[in-house]
């Protein structure tokens, strides 16, 4: 893979609550290569958004980053001042949220928002900014007449497209997509993901892609990282992880989704529910739901271990 673009090392994030800290990201390490798409999978509440927000350092309180490093190239984002971070956000690293409404300002037009972002980071005047904003909108399939629209005048799908145009405005090296199409219908979702894919091929940025939809993730990603209860349990190239998942949780997660070819008959839900992060299970956190659990799994914590080229799994039961 060469030098990674993003390298997350031993990252830990806690939500500080009255009942004590809740660790929502627990010693997580992984990398994203230049031009690579890495999918992040896992059930609701396992810490995916917390991880994404920690990378961008936009975590709202009561969350605190308790340890680790986040390297973007040769810069550790966790050691930057707020001012230094402002130089990095949008320009080198941008995020598209589940609801673009959260990122768009309701009281100014779409055009003004894009122009503001451009002018905050580059030396363009108003006219140049507006011309560039029109090009950016065109890139995501929106006509220039919408420069003067307000976010609430657009459909959900168009708002997400504006969010993508905005994220790509300064040609960042890495774009984090946190469930960018979850609120949309299937056809609009597919169109938007295909558009992101086409732009990614053309512009060469890297993507960290978070979704509940494992089928989409398998279609879209080069590598897959699987999260369970704040920890990374498996990471590897999309082929092996999709076809020969090594972790029992990945296998269960894949079985719980309709196959890519669309026959939902084999669909099985994962028994039980994800553990509370307030008091996670001892040893391997998946052991209460795991068909392969042994006494060792209940007492000892498995670390990620390489099982095949570029493919690592945290499980004692996997050879």
Question: What element of type H or E holds 127?
Answer: helix 126-139
Q: Which C-beta is closer to ligand ATP: that of 103 or that of 199?
A: 103
Give the one residue of 28, 49, 59, 224 binding Mg ion; rule: CB under 5 A.
Answer: 49
Q: Which residues contact 260 (CB under 8 A, 6 or more apart)?
A: 215, 218, 219
Stated as kind and residue range, the H or E segment containing 284 is: none
**Alpha carbon of 104 to those of 41, 96, 110, 162, 277: distances in Å?**
26, 11, 8, 9, 32
What is the DSSP secondary-structure string of 135-164? HHHHHTT--GGGGG--GGGS-HHHHHHHHH
Task: Give which of Mg ion, ligand ATP, none residue 241 binds (C-beta under 5 to 8 Å, depending on kind).
Answer: none
Q: How many beta carbons lie within 10 A of that of residue 153, not counting itself?
A: 12
Kindly identify the residues of this chain, within the stretch 205-224, that bind ligand ATP according to CB under 6 A: 212
Does 15 participate in binding ligand ATP (rule CB under 6 A)?
Answer: yes
95, 232, 277, 314: which one binds ligand ATP (CB under 6 A): 277
Nearest to 43 by CA among 291, 316, 285: 285
Nearest distance from C-beta of residue 314 to ligand ATP, angstroms: 17
Given the complex with ligand ATP, which of 25 and 315 has the nearer CB atom? Answer: 25
50 binds, among ligand ATP, Mg ion, none (CB under 5 to 8 A by kind): ligand ATP
Q: Which of 5, 8, 24, 166 binds ligand ATP (CB under 6 A)?
A: 24
The DSSP call for residue 253 is H
- If one asks whether residue 46 binds ligand ATP (CB under 6 A), the answer comes out as yes
Considering only residues 250 to 289 of the shown chain, the ones binding Mg ion according to CB under 5 A are none
- What does the binding site for Mg ion look like in residue numbers (CB under 5 A)? 48-49
């Amino acid at each position: 893979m060469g030098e990674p673009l993003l390298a997350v090392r031993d990252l830990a994030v806690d939500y500080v609550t009255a009942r004590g800290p809740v660790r929502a990201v627990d010693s997580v390490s992984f990398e994203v290569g230049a031009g690579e798409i890495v999918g992040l999978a896992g059930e609701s509440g396992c810490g995916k958004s917390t991880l994404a927000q920690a990378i961008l350092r936009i975590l709202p309180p009561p969350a605190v980053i308790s340890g680790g490093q986040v390297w973007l190239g040769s810069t550790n984002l966790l050691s930057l001042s707020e001012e230094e971070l402002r130089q990095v956000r949008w320009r080198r690293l941008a995020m598209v949220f589940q609801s673009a409404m959260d990122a768009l300002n309701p009281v100014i037009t779409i055009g003004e928002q894009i122009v503001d972002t451009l002018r905050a980071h580059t030396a363009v005047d108003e006219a140049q900014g507006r011309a560039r904003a029109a090009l950016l909108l065109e890139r995501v399939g929106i006509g220039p007449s919408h420069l003067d629209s307000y976010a609430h005048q657009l459909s959900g799908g168009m708002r997400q497209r504006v969010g993508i145009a905005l994220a790509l405005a300064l040609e960042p090296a890495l774009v984090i997509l946190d469930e960018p199409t979850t609120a949309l219908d299937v056809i609009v979702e597919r169109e938007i993901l295909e558009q992101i894919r086409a732009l990614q091929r053309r512009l060469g940025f890297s993507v960290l892609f978070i979704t509940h939809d494992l089928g989409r993730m398998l279609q879209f990603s080069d590598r897959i990282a699987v999260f369970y209860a704040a920890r990374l349990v498996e990471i590897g190239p999309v082929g092996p992880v999709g076809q020969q998942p090594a972790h029992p949780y990945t296998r269960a997660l894949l079985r719980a989704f309709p196959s890519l070819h669309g026959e939902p008959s084999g669909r099985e839900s994962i028994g039980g529910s994800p553990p509370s992060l307030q008091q996670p299970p001892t040893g391997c956190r998946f052991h209460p739901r795991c068909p392969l659990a042994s006494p060792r799994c209940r007492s000892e914590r498995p670390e990620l271990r390489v099982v095949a080229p570029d493919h690592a799994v945290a499980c004692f039961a996997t050879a």
